[in-house]
Amino acid sequence: MSTDFEQIHYQTKLINQRIGELRLTNEAVAQRVTEARRRTVALARPMAYKTVAAIRDGDPNIRLTTLKEVLDALGLTLAEVFTPTEERTETAA
């Protein structure tokens, strides 16, 4: 049964690696997302650097749209950072 509040699981290693390659801080990534948001909606809310930190730490309660915005700012895709559920359970066993 799926709900709107279902936790998501993603690979933080790729996200952290990309941020390191680009030599960005959490604040710089948040600024990129904010700028991208404002290109589409002039009064869009800014992203907090703590949100980027939560994503880097693998917080499963991050909204999928928020994660996608950060991935777009880093040049990554959802497909690159997600591990299918079946693979997660097989590797855990």
pLDDT at 89: 46
CA–CA dist 33, 38 (Å, integer): 9
Q: What values do phi and psi take at 69, rounded to 5?
A: -60, -40
Give yes or no for residue 6 having a pLDDT over 70: no
Q: Where are the domains of the chain?
A: 12-92
The answer to whether the CB of 15 falls within 8 A of the CB of 80 is no
- Asked whether the predicted pLDDT for residue 88 surpasses 70, the reply is no
Nearest to 16 by CA among 53, 51, 48, 56: 56
pLDDT value, residue 34: 95
Give, in words, the CATH class of 12-92: mainly alpha
Percent of the chain with pLDDT over 70: 81
Span 10-55, pLDDT tens digits: 889 999 999 999 999 999 999 999 999 999 888 889 999 999 999 9
> CA 74, CA 93: separation in Å to the nearest integer?
32
Q: Is the pLDDT of residue 1 over 50?
A: no
Query: Exposure of 91 by Cβ count < 10 A (0-12 exposed, 13-18 middle, 19+ buried)?
Result: exposed
Cβ within 8 Å of residue 26, ≥6 positions away: 49, 50, 52, 53, 56
